[in-house]
Amino acid sequence: MKTAQIKERNGSMVGESINRSRSEEVMVFCPNCKALQTVWLDGDTLMPTVKFLQLGKHIYHNCGATQPCRLFFDR
């Protein structure tokens, strides 16, 4: 994993992805339980993931977090 090259973007909305037309791997960080996990986005849509759900442009962890996860795009 090339964590050092991951640059944090401002905000936490999935629509900030550059490549909206193709799927990409994104690191999500839950501000509530500090979980860090890789998920896939298909454009600006979260691909089915067990522990995360998408509401609008934000991704939430299923740990009871009321704040959206931060997204780290790998480019």
Q: How far is the CB of 22 from Zn ion (least distance, A)?
A: 27
Task: Judge contact between 73 and 9, C-beta under 8 A.
Answer: yes
Q: Where does this chain touch Zn ion (CB under 5 A) — which range of 6-14, 18-26, 41-49, 55-63? A: 55-63
Query: What CA–CA distance (Å, rounded) separates 61 from 42?
Result: 18
Choosing from 35, 37, 44, 74, the residue that interacts with Zn ion (CB under 5 A) is: 35
Nearest to 39 by CA among 49, 30, 31, 29: 49
Binding site for Zn ion (CB under 5 A): 30, 32-33, 35, 61, 63, 65
